[in-house]
């Protein structure tokens, strides 16, 4: 797996509101994966978690995480990010979930009653898949 930082082509791809799946670890070590919204800023990924969700507890117990981001038009183009949650904090005023909802849906998040936690993921390594082969620098992930 290539080291970070990601090359410019991958950075541009991650800045797009592509579908993503996040995996964390259950207490017994098994995987727990869910579709999720994310944003990409300065080599880190932001996700938002409803405080009642299992994955928040899993991440508090074990911060290791994987996030796979797929091209919305061609899932054979994707980037997987491996790292750890480096920051968990309450989403005061629902600012971060609004940021994500606006990125994906064009409007603020509709549920204003459930408390949420923001998680910033530090990326340690990554790999990309482009068509039928591993990503190579210079591949145009974003059209």
Each residue's pLDDT tens digit in the chain (143 positions)?
Answer: 777 899 999 999 999 999 999 999 999 999 999 999 999 999 999 999 999 999 999 999 999 999 999 998 888 889 999 999 999 999 999 999 999 999 999 999 999 999 999 999 999 999 998 876 677 766 666 55
Residue 139 lies in a domain: no
pLDDT of residue 141: 61
Cα–Cα distance for residue pair 108/20, rounded to 1 Å: 19
Q: Which two tokens stand for residue 37?
A: 């919204």
The parent domain of residue 68 ranges over 8-133
pTM comes to: 0.90
User: Cα–Cα distances in Å, from 110 out to 28, 97, 114?
Assistant: 34, 10, 10
Residue 3 lies in a domain: no
Tally the domains of the chain. Answer: 1
pLDDT of residue 113: 95
Residue 54 lies in a domain: yes
pLDDT of residue 139: 64
pLDDT of residue 68: 98
Q: Which two tokens stand for residue 7?
A: 């090359």
Residue 143 lies in a domain: no
Residue 141 lies in a domain: no
pLDDT of residue 74: 86
pLDDT of residue 64: 98
Residue 2 lies in a domain: no
pLDDT of residue 138: 62
Domain harbouring 34, CATH code: 2.30.110.10
Could you give phi then psi for residue 83, rounded to 5 degrees?
-175, -150
């Amino acid at each position: 797996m290539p080291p970070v930082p990601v090359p410019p082509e991958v950075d541009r791809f991650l800045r797009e509101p592509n579908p993503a799946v996040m995996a964390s670890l259950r207490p017994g070590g098994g995987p727990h994966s869910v579709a999720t919204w994310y944003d990409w800023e300065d080599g880190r990924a932001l996700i938002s978690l409803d405080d009642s969700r299992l994955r928040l507890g899993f991440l508090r117990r074990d911060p290791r995480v994987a996030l796979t981001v797929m091209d919305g038009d061609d899932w054979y183009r994707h980037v997987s990010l491996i790292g750890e949650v480096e920051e968990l904090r309450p989403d005061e005023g629902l600012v971060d979930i609004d940021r994500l909802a606006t990125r994906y849906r064009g409007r603020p998040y509709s549920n204003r009653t459930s408390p949420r936690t923001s998680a910033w993921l530090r990326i340690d390594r990554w790999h990309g898949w482009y068509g039928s082969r591993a990503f190579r620098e210079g591949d145009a992930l974003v059209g």
